[in-house]
Every structure is written in C-alpha cells, then in structure tokens.
Structure 1
Amino acid sequence: MPTLQDRIAEIMESSQLSVGKLAEIAEVTSSAATQWKDGPTKSLKTGPASKLAAKTGYSAMWIATGEGPKYLAPSAPTPSNVAEAPALMPSRRVPVVGHVKGGMDGFLEEMQYAVGHGEGFVEYWTKDPEAYALRVKGDSMHPRYRHGEFIVVTPSIEAQPGSDVMVKLKDGRKLLKELNWIRDEEIQLVSLNDSYAPMTISREDVESIQRVGGGVPADAFQENRHH
C-alpha cells in the first residue's frame, strides 16, 4: 500500500501542484501540507481528502487511507425532467400556382396558372406533398393575410374547427374563411376580418374543404430558374 507521502507526491506530480497550492485546495496551512509530503503524517482526514479529490480526480478514500479505488468513478448523468425537443419538420418547396383576391361578395377571385407554368415557390414546413401556395392580391384579407404575401394550402391534412380553409363549392365559387364548425348537414364559416357575417352552408353544396397551413411573407418567394 503506498504511504501518504507516496500518494501526495503522485497527486502533486500528476496535477502539477506546489505545496502552497496543495494547501490552498485542501484549505489547510502550508505547514500541514508539508507534513503530508515529507512526513510524519500517515493519513488524512475526510474533509481535506474530499477537497483534493474534487480537484484532482483521485478518490477521497484513496487519498486519505491508500485503500479503495484510486480514481473517482465517472458520475452518471443527472436525469433531466425536461423532455427532448421534437425534431423539426424539414421544409419543402411549395409551388406558387396562382393568386387569390377577395371579391366584393365575400367569394374569391382566384386565378391559377396552367400546370407547369407556375411562377416559383416558397419554402414551408409541411409534411403534405400536395401543398401549394397562392399569392394574396389586395387587402380584403387584411390583417390575417396582407397584399403580396402567400397562403400555403395543405389539402392532404384534414381541417379542424378554428383552421383557415379554402372552400370550393359545387357551383365553382370559392371562399377563404375560418372554419367555425362542421355539423351533420352544414358547415359554418367566419370571415377573416369583420367585413362579413358568419356564413352557414349546406354540406351537399361543398365540393372540397382544404386546410390553409399558414402564411408566408412576400420576401420568401423564389423564382423558378429555367435552364
């Protein structure tokens, strides 16, 4: 078993400690530290040994008595009560397929480009492979959506009450509203601003209800690059 002097010598050499620094860490006098190094002291009290252990990586028991494991065991990570953040959904290029403008009667004036002739795309975080974007024209949807911004429609994701939706009626008319509720035979839509009263529509008159995922600022637009 190594003597206290052997142990102190090893600690001082491996940690590059002077007698004064050793005394400072252990919170004892330099005279006491010198006696550890040169004799006649044969063992240390728990307090100074623990302080040296915390700074040097040697175990307090080994420093104090020469027994037990020489080095401190690696501490297990403290369990966290904070859940890991979910991974961010990757963004995708959503094609801009046309523009949309609110009409005087509360219905939309929408123009879609011919397939393959879109003007560009916006980046948007959605898992819907069928997502498409429309450029907002005019101020009829202000303040929800401003002129020049884009709305991203995600038709593969079911709309829930409270969602903004693009509603296409069987007669060809379209609306961009907030879905207020869906009942057995009717749906109710609420205007995006205070311009119009809530609208209740028979479900048999509805061709499709497509969820609006959100808005994208005008500067997010990227033009198609044709080679």
Structure 2
Amino acid sequence: MNTFNDRFKIAFNKSGLSQHDLARAVNVSQPAIRKLVAGDTKSFRKISELAQALKVNVEWLSSGQGDSGLDVPQFEFMGAVKSRAVKVKGEAVMGANGAFEMDESLSGYLKFYSDDPVAFSLRVKGDSMFPRINSGEFVVIEPELVPASGDEVFVKLKDGRYMIKKLEYLRNREYRFTSINQDHPPITISSELVDKVMYVSAIVKSSRYIDVNSVTN
C-alpha cells in the first residue's frame, strides 16, 4: 500500500479488534485510534506497539517495506490432512498468573505448515494473554527449534503446570520469564523445576482449524 493509513486500515480490518481494544492494547486514548481509522493521522509515535497489537511486521506498517505478516500459507483440504499440517493436541485453559490447565479433549489440525515434524498446536481459552493472544486462537509449538532470549515459549514445569511466556534468559541454573500480558510480573524459576521450554512459532486464527471428525463424518 502507498500510505501508512492504507496499510493501517488493512491491518485493522483484518485484526477483528474494536477501536477500544486497540487503544487499550497500545495504551493510547480511543480518540487517537479514531483519528487513525478516519485517516486523519499520517504517522504514529507508538508504531512498534501498534504493529504488535495488529500482528503485522513493524517495518511493513511503518514504511511499506517487506512482508506484511498478514498472509499465512493455506492448504486445500480434500478429506485427508495435508502433509506436515500441524496437529491440535488440546486446549490451554488460562488461569491466574499466566499458568494454564491442559484439556486434551480437543483434536484436529490447523491449515498451517511447519517444517518441524513434531510440531503441535493448542487452542487458547481465556483472555489473560490479550491482546497478544485472543481467546479461541491457536499457538503453534515447534519443539525441535531452540528458543532464544525474547522468544515466546511454551513452558512445562515438573509439577504439571504449564505456561506461555517470553524467555528472558537462562543463567546460573535459573530461567527468567516475562509475561505476555504486562499486568503479570516477570518470574524466575530454578531450571531444576522446569521440564521443557519449547519455541512458540506462530499464533493462528480459529478459521484455520480443521475438525477432522466433522469433515469425515
């Protein structure tokens, strides 16, 4: 798109967010977002936060350069699951402080390609990670990729608890995790208490979900 306003309108319309939700996510007033939607603002100071809330690449949103991040590879479904489509292994029912319980009754696949042969996905239920992850969206987890500082990760603790966090560091046998929702404080956990830390590669809309039973029956 030629202008910032053009790119913003495309991203905003695809996001499904209301003006109120976006204002809250970016921590600006709703009138500021209203001006953006109306095309009265030619630039925006908090461009990085805006791109994160809209789930687009910041470079594309600010300058039009590079990939927008809006396009996700699609697969045609003809009664059999496409090779390497990501399996859904359950639902993450969000609780307090960013921890969640696993409900493994949900199954199926996502119309989403992964190079990791053991990649899997979970559907998020609850709003504790809003606006980064909305209730009903899926997180794709690729266990064979080694996460780095700043990456979003799926954490399994040895006591059976699960979390989705940002990895800050592993140092002196301690993990430091930052919460995706800034309302929750960072936490430090001994590596002896951590079973697995796995890379979260994508957040996928619910429209990509394939319920195999409903298709084949």
Match of 1:107 among 99, 115, 119: 99
Q: Secondary structure at the match of 1:145?
A: coil
1:154 alignment counterpart: 142
Taking the aligned partners of 2:119 and 2:91, their CA distance within structure 1 comes to 15
Instruction: Give structure 1 regions of 4+ aligned residues with deviation exceeding 4 angstroms.
Output: none
- TM-score under structure 1 normalisation? 0.56
Residue type of the alignment partner of 1:206: V
Taking the aligned partners of 1:197 and 1:138, their CA distance within structure 2 comes to 18
1:188 aligns with 2:176: yes
Q: Secondary structure at the match of 1:204?
A: helix
Match of 2:123 among 121, 132, 135: 135
Taking the aligned partners of 2:103 and 2:148, their CA distance within structure 1 comes to 26
1:119 aligns with 2:87: no
Taking the aligned partners of 1:156 and 1:226, their CA distance within structure 2 comes to 31
Taking the aligned partners of 1:109 and 1:182, their CA distance within structure 2 comes to 24
Give the alignment's Cα RMSD to 1 decimal: 1.9
Q: Secondary structure at the match of 1:158?
A: coil
Unaligned runs of 5+ in 2: 1-72, 76-83
Unaligned runs of 5+ in 1: 1-88
Bigger relative contact order, structure 1 or 2, given CA contacts below 8 A and separation 6+?
Answer: 2
Shift of 1:159: 1.1
Query: How many residue pairs are counted as aligned between the two chains?
Result: 135
User: Is the contact between residue 90 and residue 126 of structure 1 (CA under 8 Å) also seen in structure 2?
Assistant: no
User: Is the contact between residue 142 and residue 193 of structure 1 (CA under 8 Å) also seen in structure 2?
Assistant: yes
1:226 aligns with 2:216: yes
Match of 1:96 among 85, 88, 96: 88
Shift of 1:197: 0.7
Taking the aligned partners of 1:119 and 1:153, their CA distance within structure 2 comes to 15
1:18-75 residue CA offsets vs partner (Å, 9 max, x unmatched): xxxxxxxxxxxxxxxxxxxxxxxxxxxxxxxxxxxxxxxxxxxxxxxxxxxxxxxxxx
Distance change >3 Å, CA 102–CA 165, structure 1 → 2: same
Residue type of the alignment partner of 2:190: S
Residue type of the alignment partner of 1:221: Y
Taking the aligned partners of 1:202 and 1:193, their CA distance within structure 2 comes to 22
Residue type of the alignment partner of 2:91: H
Residue type of the alignment partner of 1:102: M
Taking the aligned partners of 1:161 and 1:101, their CA distance within structure 2 comes to 26
User: Is the contact between residue 112 and residue 208 of structure 2 (CA under 8 Å) also seen in structure 1?
Assistant: no
Taking the aligned partners of 2:98 and 2:107, their CA distance within structure 1 comes to 26
